[in-house]
Amino acid sequence: METLELLFASLVRETAASIRDHHVPFAIRQDEQAYYAWMDAHPIDGYVQEAYREIEETAQQLRSIRAG
């Protein structure tokens, strides 16, 4: 990926992580096992995965446009 694509992906990743972390119940933040169990069951995880899919689709479209 080019620099702009990497910066965009990084920004989306950081934003998704921030949203996710602000929704984690305070009581489980220090318990790693409970944290991951909560993450696996929480719908925000699906939003993060969808964001990654959209990033990859956008990157593929940009590559095909550049390839001409």
Query: CA gyration radius for the chain?
Result: 15
- The pLDDT, as a whole number, for residue 45 is 65
User: Would you say 45 and 20 are in contact if contact means Cβ atoms under 8 Å apart?
Assistant: yes
Return d(Cα 33, Cα 40) in angstroms, integer: 11
User: Would you say 9 and 55 are in contact if contact means Cβ atoms under 8 Å apart?
Assistant: yes
- The pLDDT, as a whole number, for residue 1 is 53
Nearest to 49 by CA among 17, 24, 21, 18: 17
Ordered by start, the domain boundaries in the chain are 3-67
- The pLDDT, as a whole number, for residue 2 is 73
Q: What is the pLDDT along the chain (68 residues), one digit of tens a residue?
A: 577 777 777 777 787 777 777 777 878 878 889 888 887 777 766 777 777 777 778 778 878 888 88
Structure tokens at 48: 């993060």
Q: Which amino acid is at 31?
A: D
